[in-house]
Amino acid sequence: MTAIGAAARPAIGQRRRFMAPSSLADGAVAFAATFVCNAAFWLAVWALGPILFGWHSVALVSGSMSPLFGVGDVVVAEPYDGSALAPRTVIVFHTPGSDRLTTHRIVSVNSDGSYRTRGDANAVDDSTPVPASAIVAVGRLRVPFMGLPVTWWQTGNYPPLAATILILVLAVFFRGGWPRDDGPRPATSRPGGLSRLARIGVVLAVIAVVATHFSAAAFAATTPNGANAWGAGTIFPGARSSTAHTISDASNGGTAVNASDPLSYSGDTRTKTTGNWAAAYSSTRYFELGYEAPLAAGQAVSGASFLFDWAAATAGTTVCFYFEVRKASTSTVLATYGSSSSPVACNGTTTLQATSTPIPIVTTTDIANDLAIRVYAWHSGAKAIVIDRATITGSTAYQSFVLYEKSSTDRSTGTATTTPWSLSTAEGTAYASAANWTTAYNSARYLSFTFGAYVPTGAAVTDVTLTHTWKGSTAGKNFCYFIQVYNGATLLGAHGSSSSPYHCDSTAAWVTDTISLPEAASVANANAVTIKLYGWNAASGKSSHDLLGLAVTYSLP
């Protein structure tokens, strides 16, 4: 081995193949080369060694997990044993609809046991839930840079790959210092060590393995997908819920009265009037809607639009608006349509004006299932506005859909008032029958509730369940009811009867009934459920209905 600082001046007339540098430079070269060799060796051990024990080494070829994991990093992952995983765990899983694998982080656990995932750098969750059966491994260790040769190889980026190979070869070659011919050289660089030539051969062999076999085996099957939406594909079994927004109230025994959600349908003479707005735009005055989440996750959405029908409440004034699309769960602004200086529309009359504004930010059902719309309006007369409809429409590969509100917050005055849609949640804001019930069953007295259509064409429907939270008017006096289930005018089934009510309760406290509706377990029926509720009240009082939800369990291969 050429000792550092041991270079001797060659005899006069002796030719030298290499120009001998100074001792200091010679030592620097040896140090740098040794450092590169050792760093490469130990990184390789950490990145590849676990494979010998059945673990996985995953080269990241996208930045979807940055900043913690960068392109070219290797994630060393332990084989998945099927146990329950907690949010924030990094997992390697089969990409839905693809033979590729993805490395992303668990965001939450779905009710059906599947996992919602997201790349750390992505703004939204992955569109398709990940079932446990699709999980390959659980990330345990990050090894920086070791996957870079693979990413270069796979992306055809050969210059840095060639440069890296050259650097490694030179590092091995110069690891013992600057080569000289100033004396007899030992056969090995050190006792028991490899010759430089042999070490170069080893490095080239390792690189060849990494670039070919490694990318084809250990890494090729683990190519992450940086995208967060995989488009339409398998719909995993699961229950998706919606609530009734259409109410027809015949509790008085006469003509049924439309008592539907004022914000869900246009031209139905049912509107919501806000408070008084300011004459100019104010960032603290808005009307915000949160929407229900009735769609199966993981589907691509096209043609999403916000339908907003409104008018000034006072003649001779002008009202303008623009809006933000927000992620309901975090209130993060996803996109803004229009602005205070360039409104989406202005209306100078008290005649309802319909607007339909495309919201292309809604590209997946995951986004659609977590939506809020914040409408900023201003009114030249600082008066109220009237809203006839505020819904979202769109399409998946299987169907078109309409999203209805879950609740609305009116902050037109600068002070917020939140009003849940009465039937959307069981929180005490309830729908009360328009009239007092009679003390005995009367076939002309009923409430009718109709649900939206959200089950994809072709789905296998395995369960339909109605959840009904209700109470009577007076403690000590029974309120009784039974229901009939319709598809349009077609009676599908009944639960209870006038002689054998489905449920009677005299506590005047909230009661929740969970009613299985096997007669509605088809796509056609589940998409057209109307519940007709016949009631009678020993106190001759009203009834209150706090939640009327329909959960449909289905899957689609």
Q: Rule CB under 5 A: which residues touch Ca ion?
A: 262, 265, 268, 270, 388, 422, 429, 546
Task: Give the CB-side neighbour count of residue 237, counting CA atoms within 13 A.
Answer: 8
> Residue 312: beta bridge partners?
385
Shortest Å distance, C-beta 424 to Ca ion = 6
Shortest Å distance, C-beta 67 to Ca ion = 43
Q: How far apart are CA 125 and CA 116, in angstroms?
A: 7
Q: How far apart are CA 385 and CA 378, in angstroms?
A: 9
User: Which secondary structure element, helix H or strand E, spans residue 407, and what is its range?
Assistant: strand 405-411
* Contact predicate 106/89, CB 8 Å: yes
Assign 3-class secondary structure to 349-360: CCCCEEEEEECC
Shortest Å distance, C-beta 377 to Ca ion = 17
Q: For residues 95-113, b (16+ Cβ closer than 10 Å) or e, as one string?
A: bbeeeebbbbbbeeeeeee
Q: How far apart are CA 253 and CA 443, in angstroms?
A: 8
Identify which of residues 288 and 309 has a Cβ nearer to Ca ion in the complex.
309
Identify which of residues 363 and 544 has a Cβ nearer to Ca ion in the complex.
544
Query: DSSP H helical segments within 67-187, as ranges?
Result: 148-155, 158-173
Identify which of residues 128 and 251 has a Cβ nearer to Ca ion in the complex.
251
Shortest Å distance, C-beta 471 to Ca ion = 12
Determine the distance from the C-alpha atom of residue 205 to the mean position of all C-alpha atoms in its chain, rounded to a whole number. 43
**Helix 158-173 × helix 23-48 angle, to 10°:** 120
Residues 6+ apart with CB under 8 A from 206: 44
Q: What's the Cα-to-Cα distance from 76 to each of 140, 157, 343, rounded to whole Å?
A: 6, 24, 51
Shortest Å distance, C-beta 468 to Ca ion = 11
> Residue 286: beta bridge partners?
411
Shortest Å distance, C-beta 311 to Ca ion = 12
Identify which of residues 219 and 431 has a Cβ nearer to Ca ion in the complex.
431
Identify which of residues 151 and 242 has a Cβ nearer to Ca ion in the complex.
242
Identify which of residues 261 and 370 has a Cβ nearer to Ca ion in the complex.
261
Identify which of residues 380 and 429 has a Cβ nearer to Ca ion in the complex.
429
Q: How far apart are CA 137 and CA 80, in angstroms?
A: 4
Shortest Å distance, C-beta 419 to Ca ion = 10
Q: How far apart are CA 161 and CA 7, in angstroms?
A: 35
Shortest Å distance, C-beta 503 to Ca ion = 18
Residue 455 phi/psi, 5-degree rounding, is -85, 125
Identify which of residues 268 and 519 has a Cβ nearer to Ca ion in the complex.
268
User: Which secondary structure element, helix H or strand E, spans residue 526, and what is its range?
Assistant: helix 523-526
* Contact predicate 476/506, CB 8 Å: yes
Identify which of residues 385 and 455 has a Cβ nearer to Ca ion in the complex.
385
3-class SS of residue 15: coil
Identify which of residues 50 and 549 has a Cβ nearer to Ca ion in the complex.
549
> Residue 105: beta bridge partners?
90, 118
* Contact predicate 522/457, CB 8 Å: no
Give the tokens for residue 393: 């429409």
Shortest Å distance, C-beta 420 to Ca ion = 6
Shortest Å distance, C-beta 268 to Ca ion = 5
Identify which of residues 273 and 302 has a Cβ nearer to Ca ion in the complex.
273
Shortest Å distance, C-beta 431 to Ca ion = 8
* Contact predicate 428/420, CB 8 Å: no
